[in-house]
Amino acid sequence: MEFKHENLTEVFKGVRLARNSDLKHPHYIFSDEIGSDYMDVHIIDNHKEFRFVIDNFPMRRRFYETNIPFRTLQDFIRALERMNVYIPHQKKAT
């Protein structure tokens, strides 16, 4: 499946588009099964850069950046695995 950040809310459970008027780029919030937000994903410059902010409570937050584009949804999932981040359940098979 080709990766398009617009599909994150359709593919994964617990993902929503943040409504923050201060930011000029898309920003998604990932939540776990109990509704706790655990990760923000910022898409900068139309897929050219991704910034991950991972809440690691009670530890410090973790930050990751990449400017390698994700071509498929599997690329995105593998990036989450490399960061050792919880991967939300998919709503439908890919």
HEC profile for 3-37? Answer: CCHHHHHHHECCEEECCCCCCCCCEEEEECCCCCE
Q: Mean pLDDT over residues 34-46, rounded?
A: 82
Q: Mean pLDDT over residues 25-54, rounded?
A: 83
How many CA within 13 A on the CB side of residue 25? 14
Q: Where are the domains of the chain?
A: 5-82
* 43-82 residue pLDDT tens: 887 667 888 888 867 777 888 888 887 889 899 888 888 8
Question: What per-residue confidence (pLDDT) applies to 46?
Answer: 67
Q: Mean pLDDT over residues 22-31, rounded?
A: 84
Confidence tier at 93 by pLDDT (50, 70, 90): low
